[in-house]
Amino acid sequence: MTKIVFFDIDGTLVTKRNTIPESAKKAIDQLKKNDVIPVIATGRAPILIEEIRQELGIESYIAMNGQLVMHEGEVIFHNPIQKETVDRLTEKAVERKNGIILCGAKDIFSNSIVSLAKRSSVWTVLKGLGKIIPGHLQLSLFKRLIRKPPNREEYEGKPIYQVILETSMDEEKHYSKEFPELHFARSNHYTVDIISEGISKAVGIQKFLEKLNLDQKDTYAFGDSPNDKEMLDYVNTGVAMGNGWDEIKKAADYVTAPVDQDGIAKGLKHFGLI
């Protein structure tokens, strides 16, 4: 009987300062020693998973809220958004002056400043600054960087799996009405992840279990925000972080401690997984 645990990243494996608690690292290592499979399930694009994945030694992941599923280097499932829809959404974001980022399987497409940063050591520096710069200043910098639209020449002809839109929760409602073919998955108060309708982390988990022929009753998941709800509902045991949104805590089977208070380790220990 193989057990499997799916972990969100931001607010779950990683703190607000973009660090993984030592207790979580040790817990993941012990999980693997106990022959329990750890899988990342995140809204992040693959390029923003690599450092964390390597640090934790996790080989498989569900990226971009279920749009791309990888098992030990093999693509299990991928579902790019239709080009016409991406173009319309980009045009609407420019019209409304909302920042926008397009996520591909191996790259992120934004304006020239962000594109330059992520292709050089500047990107590493920015991520490092995220550990010491207060959240509200990070947000201000982020908004200025993404306000201009991506350069069409950079992403033309390449599959786009997810769009990140800088917009309020109220304004998001207008977008969702205009784009019924899309699903809006929010992980914070400032931006929303946009993917294909009918896709979620839960769908990614389903594809993963089908590939490995694993039973749903042996599944666990840890999450903290609205884009984790489908995942927590789908697995046999859903665990919400103590720092999570209230609606996620209500949907979970169990609420563990906050991420920076050994929440991962305590949750895994509670269920006898480590």
* Active site positions, annotated: 8
Q: CB of 39 within 8 A of CB of 174? A: no
Q: Across the strands, what pairs with 68?
A: 63, 78
CA distance linking residue 175 with residue 92, whole number of Å: 9
Q: How far is CA 10 from CA 176, 182, 205, 211, in A?
A: 24, 23, 18, 26
Contacts for 225 with CB less than 8 Å, ≥ 6 apart: 8, 10, 11, 186, 187, 188, 244, 245, 248
Q: Return phi, psi of residue 235, to 5°.
A: -70, 165
